[in-house]
Amino acid sequence: MPAAYEHPSLQMSVTPEQRDRAEDWLKDAYADGRVSESEFDSRIGQVLGATTRKDLNQAFYGLVHVPSSSTAVGLHPAYQPLVRPEVRDRAGNGVAALAHFSTLFAWLLGPAVIYALSSPGTRARREAAKAFNFTLVTFLGLVGSSIIANVTNLDLFDMLTGVIFVGWVVLTIIGGAKAAQGENWHNPVRHVARLQVLKEK
């Protein structure tokens, strides 16, 4: 019985760029929960030890569907166009900043939507959680100070309500600016009010 046909390109050596693409693809798959930690360790080991494209393909066996060996080169993640890390980081920073700024016009809905649409472990998801939690804490503070002001009729609490609102606007803008720059900034208010409805991880 004749041996199965094997595309000649599968015997070509793996380039550093192809290895980097394969590593990035597996890291994203792990962050998205598509592979377990043990499976990630096993597959990343195969990627690092691969010398030919056929070896590299084996690291994705059962994870990436490739119809036949003759089309493997076009469909395998290691051979698809690589998004440069700096481009991906800029995009992530932009979405992370939007999560903060969106609270100024969409309140809790803005960061909640970004959180829901972002993959677990991504920067956008973490910053969306931070923005949501801070806005919720501020809202509760505004409600509390308004109630006390109405009950006591003290001007002090009316002033406190204004201070809380201005503080929310200022710290939201700072948070968005820091996220746009790629900084992992921690809102000082969150050190005191530790309410965390959305996980900031």
Low-confidence ranges of the chain (pLDDT < 70): 1-7, 9, 64-91
The predicted-structure confidence for 20-37, as pLDDT tens digits, reads as follows: 888 888 888 888 778 888
Helix ranges restricted to H, 59-194:
72-75, 85-101, 103-106, 109-117, 123-152, 155-180, 188-192
Instruction: Measure the N-to-C terminal CA separation of the chain; round to a whole number of Å.
Output: 55
How is the chain split into domains, by residue range?
A: 8-79, 85-192
Residue 157 corresponds to which amino acid? F
Whether the model clears a pTM of 0.75, i.e. scores above it, the answer is no
| Mean of pLDDT over the chain | 82
The predicted-structure confidence for 81-110, as pLDDT tens digits, reads as follows: 555 555 555 667 889 999 999 999 999 999
